[in-house]
Amino acid sequence: MTTQTEAELRSPFDLHGRCAVVTGAGRGLGRAVALGLARAGADLVLLGRPGSQDGTRDQVVDLGRDVEVVDLDVSDADAVERVGARLAADRQVDILVNNAGIIDREDSVSVTRDAWNRVLDVNLTGLFFLCQHLGRPMAERGSGKVVSIASLLSFQGGIRVASYAASKHGVAGVTKALANEWGPLGVQVNAIAPGYIATDNTTALREDPDRSRSILERIPAGRWGVASDIAGAAVFLSSPAADYVNGHVLVVDGGWMAR
């Protein structure tokens, strides 16, 4: 009879002993993902704008996990470098979840360069450089997981959201590029493409009766998603269960893309 190793006896989704960094964890998908990771056993570092992570921090404490809050505007290049270097020096980050994101709903003919840059700076440039700073030690160590929140607009163009669609196509591209570079070093880089989820990001759509109805009609699940629908996928891609999953963009959309 063969004896099972300790690793074989653990749940493949167990995150005890892992440190996970989540950006924009104060509300919406980021909060749900942070709490999902904490329930799976991870300790957390919450990166976000001053004051906005406090409620999530308290909920992580209630779950019995360690948690640190670090102020960071992910569009601030100097701050990303400073925080990235500090975290890389002070702790072993096992998991990075790039969640922070913004959307600008506007006709393409009216988009200004400033508005374009604002979206790209948060959704793509900040994300890439956080990957660089926190992924470097993962690659040197030979283990780690990066999970970015992409979008259905990593595949589709959407309506009146050109900068957002460009940024989220970019997130899918960066995910695959980093997977190719870091996969051989033991780091898995994946993304989640949420469907239409009821958060502040989609308030305008839900308040427009025509858009709201036409979106709902295309979702085989027959409902909008809720933030907690994304947590399980994030736990999966952050866990040993996904050790052989790399460069993948996992759609969690109630079936939207199947139509």
Q: Are 134 and 58 in contact (CB under 8 A)?
A: no
Binding range to ligand NAP, per CB under 6 A, among 13-21, 82-90, 155-163, 200-208: 200-208
Binding mask 98-127 for ligand NAP (x = CB under 6 A): -xxxx-------------------x-----
Per annotation, catalytic residue among 131, 152, 164, 229:
164
Q: How many helices (H) and strands (E) does the chain have?
A: 10, 7
| DSSP symbol at 225 | B
Q: Verify binding: residue 197, ligand NAP, rule CB under 6 A.
A: yes
For the bound state, the minimum distance from the C-beta of residue 30 to ligand NAP, rounded and expressed in Å, comes to: 5
d(CA 176, CA 181): 9
Give Cβ neighbours of residue 88 (< 8 Å, ≥ 6 apart).
133, 134, 136, 137
Q: Name which of 208, 220, 148 is nearest 177 in CA terms.
A: 148
164 is catalytic: yes
Choose which of 18, 22, 30, 190 interacts with ligand NAP (CB under 6 A): 30
Binding range to ligand NAP, per CB under 6 A, among 47-55, 63-71, 177-185, 231-239: 47-55
Q: Name which of 176, 161, 173, 21 is nearest 96 in CA terms.
A: 21
d(CA 133, CA 112): 30
For the bound state, the minimum distance from the C-beta of residue 47 to ligand NAP, rounded and expressed in Å, comes to: 7
Concatenate the DSSP letters of all residues of 61-95 into one string.
HHTT--EEEEE--TT-HHHHHHHHHHHHHHS---E
Choose which of 19, 75, 169, 235 interacts with ligand NAP (CB under 6 A): 75
For the bound state, the minimum distance from the C-beta of residue 247 to ligand NAP, rounded and expressed in Å, comes to: 19
Binding range to ligand NAP, per CB under 6 A, among 1-9, 72-80, 109-117, 177-185: 72-80
Residues engaged in binding ligand NAP (CB under 6 A): 23-24, 26-30, 48-49, 52, 73-75, 99-102, 122, 149, 151, 194, 196-197, 199-202
